[in-house]
């Protein structure tokens, strides 16, 4: 065994898992999109297993409410970039691999160029628009996507877009979820999540990546694994062998318009902007930067509070819920000018404990 592969001796002791297979891991390039609850454990185990190049894409910063489930970070990281902090920690864990931080927001303008540099995409995001975008980019570029999602006590994992022997492709996200009204589905900040579930689902995602790279095991392609951490029961639902959707280009119609913190401050000074906090009452009471306050699921019932001729800048902790609010406004009140504060309060007040 190569001396620099001593750390992998236990996995190389597996039947059929020899130096050739370890070499496949060393040569692989994996992109993890989202360095949160799922991305942290997935990245840790892919790093430990010796995946040669790992890219981590996330434009968010660490907040205090992340720490119960995003285990790569600690109190001293609050306000710092998740992508760069994660790469720094993981590089210490395994100096023999290459880690690349992509501190960018994934959009239809940059995702194709980004995923073209990798073999496999791991979807560790927490919103529907990102999942559709990642799925579609995977289909267009011919890259498999390992999907994971968590909410409260429930989690899901699937492997999308794997090439079949007959030249067809396995199902993708749109085969299972053709359309989802994201505004009606609370995220973890609102609905909550048990922290251990993030570790379980993230590890299963990493497991599927290793299986794809090494050509071992039975993939979750054409299947959806569901796991209930409350009852400790799991099911594997068969979806089918081939996709029934046709995806030839990215959908750009649902992307929320954003504004930077500096631009928003200038607009406030000139009186052209009204801030709107879409976080929970508890979050708003703990810290806010003024303006109106409606929780995300209350906006549709309060459209009368918004007037034409003003620019409303919606904000939350990271920019995710505010983006959902902007899309809701575009759908329900298209005459109202609505923008999402890019990066949320983490960009407005770097280092603030959210």
Positions marked catalytic:
188, 316
User: Taking the CB of residue 254, how many other CB atoms lie within 10 A of it?
Assistant: 15
DSSP notation for 32-79: EE--STTHHHHHHHHHHHT-SEEEEE---B--GGGTTT-TT--GGGTT
CA angle 314–38–92, rounded 5-degree value = 110
As a whole number of angstroms, the distance between CA 150 and CA 144 comes to 20
The sign one gets for the Cα dihedral 55, 57, 62, 66 is negative
DSSP notation for 260-294: -HHHHHHHHHHT-EEEEE-S-HHHHHH---SSEE-
């Amino acid at each position: 065994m190569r001396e620099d592969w001593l750390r992998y001796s236990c996995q190389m002791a597996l039947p059929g898992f020899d130096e050739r297979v370890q070499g496949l891991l060393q040569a692989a390039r994996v992109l993890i999109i989202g360095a949160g609850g799922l991305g942290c454990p997935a990245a840790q185990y892919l790093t430990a297993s010796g995946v040669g190049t790992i890219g981590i894409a996330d434009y968010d910063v660490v907040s205090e409410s992340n720490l119960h489930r995003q285990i790569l970070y600690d109190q001293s990281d609050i306000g710092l970039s998740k992508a760069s902090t994660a790469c720094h920690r993981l590089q210490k864990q395994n100096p023999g691999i290459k880690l690349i931080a992509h501190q960018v927001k994934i959009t239809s303008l940059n995702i194709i160029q980004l995923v073209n540099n990798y073999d496999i995409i791991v979807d560790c995001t927490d919103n529907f628009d990102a999942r559709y975008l990642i799925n579609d980019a995977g289909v267009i570029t011919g890259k498999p996507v390992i999907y994971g999602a968590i909410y409260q006590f429930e989690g899901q994992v699937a492997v999308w877009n794997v090439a079949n022997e007959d030249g067809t492709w396995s199902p993708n996200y749109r085969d299972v979820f053709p359309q989802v009204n994201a505004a009606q589905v609370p995220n973890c900040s609102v609905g909550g999540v048990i922290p251990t579930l993030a570790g379980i689902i993230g590890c299963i995602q990493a497991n599927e990546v290793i299986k794809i790279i090494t050509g071992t095991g039975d993939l979750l392609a054409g299947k959806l694994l569901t796991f209930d951490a409350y009852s400790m029961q799991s099911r594997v639902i068969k979806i089918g062998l081939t996709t029934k959707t046709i995806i030839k280009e990215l959908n750009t119609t649902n992307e929320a318009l954003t504004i930077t913190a500096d631009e928003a401050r200038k607009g406030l000074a000139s009186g052209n902007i009204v801030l709107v906090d879409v976080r929970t009452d508890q979050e708003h009471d703990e810290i806010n930067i003024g303006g109106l306050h409606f929780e995300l699921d209350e906006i549709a019932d309060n459209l009368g509070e918004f007037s034409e001729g003003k620019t409303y800048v919606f904000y939350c902790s990271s920019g995710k819920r505010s983006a959902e609010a902007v899309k809701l406004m575009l759908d329900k009140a298209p005459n109202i000018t609505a923008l999402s504060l890019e990066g949320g309060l983490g960009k407005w007040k770097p280092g603030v404990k959210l």
